[in-house]
């Protein structure tokens, strides 16, 4: 059976925390689609094209990983792609409560899709895109939080 999973997020920007979840999730699936959700209400620091390009660069030699953007419900995107799994990372009890509500809502919307959670690596749990954005906006060195393949490409 072809096990396809979607890892949804904004990746604004992608961090080593995201990469850890993707790399640890990969052995569970045949194919993983990194889904960059476009929310018209949300303001992003980095344009969609750059966020896609960074993820494609990081996984250019991993044929089992695809990078795509989508609008609308994540479960609809999963159905469109034939994905039966959603992969999410949990960093804290706050993440857990939020993710539980989203996952249970998704279960009502689509009975066929299961969300798989992976707990953050303790050393990476404090890393979030929003804090990394603050570091970048304020002229700090964000390189410890960014995958090395794209460290030099990330400038606001
Ligand atoms: P969203 O816009 O949905 O919050 P993000 O791009 O911030 O998306 O994150 C996508 C996924 O990656 C989420 O499941 C989030 O919990 C997870 N994630 C983000 N940072 C980390 C981290 N440092 N460790 C583990 N998981 C993380």
Query: Cα dihedral sign for 99, 70, 12, 55?
Result: positive
Burial of 139 (0-12, 13-18, 19+ CB in 10 A): exposed
**Cα–Cα distance measured from residue 11 to residue 152, given in angstroms and rounded to the nearest whole number:** 17
Catalytic residue chosen out of the listed positions 5, 10, 18, 51: 18
Tens of pLDDT, residues 62-114: 999 999 999 999 999 999 999 999 999 999 999 999 999 999 999 999 999 99
Which structural domains are found in the chain, ordered by start? 4-153 (3.40.50.620)
Question: Ligand 1 atom closest to Cα of 8?
Answer: 10
- Beta-ladder partners of 70: 37
> What is the pTM (predicted TM-score) of this model?
0.95
Identify whether 24 is a catalytic site residue.
no
Expressed in angstroms and rounded, the spacing between residue 66 Cα and the centre of ligand 1 is: 18
Active site residue 18: yes
């Amino acid at each position: 059976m072809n096990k396809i999973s979607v890892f949804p997020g904004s990746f604004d920007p992608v961090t080593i925390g995201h990469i850890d979840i993707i790399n640890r999730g990969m052995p569970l699936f045949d194919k993983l689609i990194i889904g960059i959700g476009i929310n018209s209400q949300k303001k992003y620091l980095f344009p969609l094209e750059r966020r896609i390009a960074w993820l494609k660069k990081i996984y250019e030699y991993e044929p089992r990983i695809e990078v795509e953007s989508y609008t609308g419900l994540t479960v609809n995107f999963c159905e469109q792609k034939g994905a039966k799994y959603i992969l999410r990372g949990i960093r804290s009890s706050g993440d857990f409560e939020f993710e539980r509500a989203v996952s249970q809502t998704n279960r009502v919307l689509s009975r066929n899709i299961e969300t798989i959670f992976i707990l953050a690596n303790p050393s990476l749990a404090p890393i979030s895109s929003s804090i990394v954005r603050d570091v970048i906006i304020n002229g700090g060195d964000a390189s410890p939080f960014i995958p090395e393949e794209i460290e030099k490409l990330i400038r606001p």
